[in-house]
Structure 1
Amino acid sequence: MVKHPYKVHVWGAFCRQGPIGVALFTENMNSAKYREILQSQLLPNAYHAGYGWNFQQDNAPMHTAKLTHQFFVINNVPVIDWPANSPDLNPIENLWAILKGNVERRVNNWVMKKKSLGANDFQGIIQQEWDNIDKNLFFSLADSMSDRINMVIENNGYTINY
């Protein structure tokens, strides 16, 4: 794996029907940045999820901040209460692993061709790989939630391999 000198954060959301939004940014995430992304990516695109959708997020500090909670209330965003330390119940974790692998392959190919990889090139690769995710993957990850929940229940609440 080729190391790159660029720090890029990726926020993404999806539903059964496909991607809802993605944001690439270089600054650190905080509650203000998180709300800015939700405003620009989630709110205008959440209709893709259809009627009766719920927003799932982990318990990172910027997600549970008072101003973030107020943002959700003001904008009528239904947020699921989520247990701490439960990445096995968060299907986007699987998506991040796939995206990371695809980006790493592209970066390695880029560097093997002796091309210089700039920050814009790196962000472009991330965006292209997000755009190239098969729509069926979004469906299968969203659809896996009932199985995941049942497996955790059968495992008495302990972590599962998913």
Structure 2
Amino acid sequence: MAWCQEGQQRSHFSQKKNIRDRLIFCRKYSEWTDEDWGKVIFSDEAPFRLFGASGKRLVRRRKGERYHQSCVMPTVKHPDTIHVWGCFSSKGVGSLTILPKNTAMNKEWYQNTLQQQLLPTTQQQFGEEQCIFQHDGAPCHKAKVITKWLGDQNVEILGPWPGNSPDLNPIENLWSLLKRRVDKQKPTNSDKLQEVIMKEWVAISQDLAQKLIESMPSRIAEVLKKKGQHCKY
């Protein structure tokens, strides 16, 4: 019983800290305009699974056919999973890179990704204009070597970014859209899955990207209104 109470106390403390961090972040950026957010590049990693991102299919059947073979979808217990890193801004989607198999998401991989993917995107989209980079608090993101590298590259960081805040990162909406589009293509193997992911990523319109960025003031206001709780985004 004592262990259970201690665990509940830790969970409660973690939730309170998360709410506090979210409020700190939102208050800091509450006065930002669409123009301000237009200077931010949002980034994230995401997994894509073979045979459907959601694992669900709509099957039409008549009464009494619930378990008929023609109405049962085959499943795969351990589908191949592809991990990607991507970024975008109000100017459109940026680089998307696929993590090679058997490669760990560590600080070495992340620095290489920033070097080869982020810097070309910032140059292409912003040129010599200063932009701001967003990433979350994943361990490889916060490694000292990464912080130093970003400083050496004169990359300004948006933050401090609050943990457990997907509703504040509009790239999460892009991942959801991308997974639905990829799922519709029904790729049958890992190579085809990678091909479809890249194809659908570059097909995302600049107009959609801009609308998502322009939703940031509303996201900030909603979190403040809910006193740090998560919002609909």
Shorter-chain TM-score range: 0.7 to 0.9
C-alpha displacement of 1:87: 0.8
Cα distance in structure 2, aligned partners of 1:143 and 1:21: 20
Q: Which amino acid aligns with 1:73?
A: G
Of 83-92 and 5-14, deviating more is: 5-14
C-alpha displacement of 1:146: 1.0
Equivalent in 79, 96, 101 of residue 22 of structure 1 = 96
Aligned to 1:119: 190
Aligned to 2:32: none
Aligned to 1:113: none
What is the count of residue pairs matched by the alignment?
154
State the percentage of identical aligned residues. Answer: 38
Aligned to 1:73: 151
TM-score, structure 2 as length reference: 0.62
Contact 1:16 1:49 in 2 (8 A): no
C-alpha displacement of 1:154: 1.2
Structure 2 residue 179 is matched with structure 1 residue 142: no
Cα distance in structure 1, aligned partners of 2:136 and 2:212: 16
Cα distance in structure 1, aligned partners of 2:148 and 2:181: 36
Runs of 4+ off more than 6 Å: none
Aligned to 1:154: 225
Aligned to 1:44: 120
C-alpha displacement of 1:11: 0.5
C-alpha displacement of 1:136: 1.1
Give the aligned CA root-mean-square deviation in angstroms.
Answer: 1.6
Aligned to 2:132: 54
Higher strand residue share: 2
Q: Which amino acid aligns with 2:227?
A: N
C-alpha displacement of 1:145: 0.8
Higher helix residue share: 1
Larger gyration radius, structure 1 or structure 2: 2
Equivalent in 61, 78, 81 of residue 7 of structure 1 = 81
Q: Which amino acid aligns with 1:17?
A: K
Q: Which amino acid aligns with 1:38?
A: L
Q: Which amino acid aligns with 2:93?
A: P
C-alpha displacement of 1:5: 3.4
Q: Deviations over 1:68-95 (max 9, x none)?
A: 1111111111111111111110111111
Contact 1:15 1:49 in 2 (8 A): no
Cα distance in structure 1, aligned partners of 2:79 and 2:98: 16
Q: Which has the higher contact order (CA 8 A, sep 6+)?
A: 2
- Show structure 2 runs of 5+ residues with no match: 1-50, 53-75
